[in-house]
Amino acid sequence: MDRRKFIQDALKLFSAAYLLSPINVFSEDTKKPKKKIVVIGVGIAGISAARALLRRGFDVTVLEGRDRIGGRVWTDTSIGAPMDMGAS
């Protein structure tokens, strides 16, 4: 193996290691206890926040004051057919 080939292979290896390093940024550390997070409200933002936190290994509790999820976004079925009301 000549010097040029060695340097090229080393650069390829370091480039691959650099590109793969961000993958483990949010990996769960089993030695640390999970941090507990409370998300208040299960609208679009609350659902998105809870989902993102769960993916990152947090212990998430979600609180909602209504008997349904969705916040101001809901589906009206009083006319016999589902009608999305959006955030109205």
User: SS in 3 state form for 15-27?
Assistant: HHHHHHHHHHCCC
Average pLDDT, the chain: 78
**What number is the average pLDDT over the span 1-8?**
73
User: What band does 15 get if pLDDT is binned at 50, 70 and 90?
Assistant: low
Contacts of 52 (CB under 8 A, 6+ apart): none
Distance CA 66, CA 43 (A): 11
pLDDT of residue 67: 81
User: How far apart (Å, rounded) are the C-alpha atoms in residues 57 and 37?
Assistant: 11
Mean pLDDT of all residues in 59-87: 84
Q: What is the average per-residue pLDDT within 54-67? A: 90
Q: What is the pLDDT of residues 16-59, one digit of tens each?
A: 555 555 555 455 555 676 899 999 988 888 889 999 999 998 99
Residues 68 and 74: beta-carbon distance below 8 Å: yes
- Cα 46 from Cα 71, distance rounded (Å): 9
Domain edges within the chain: 3-72
pLDDT of residue 37: 92
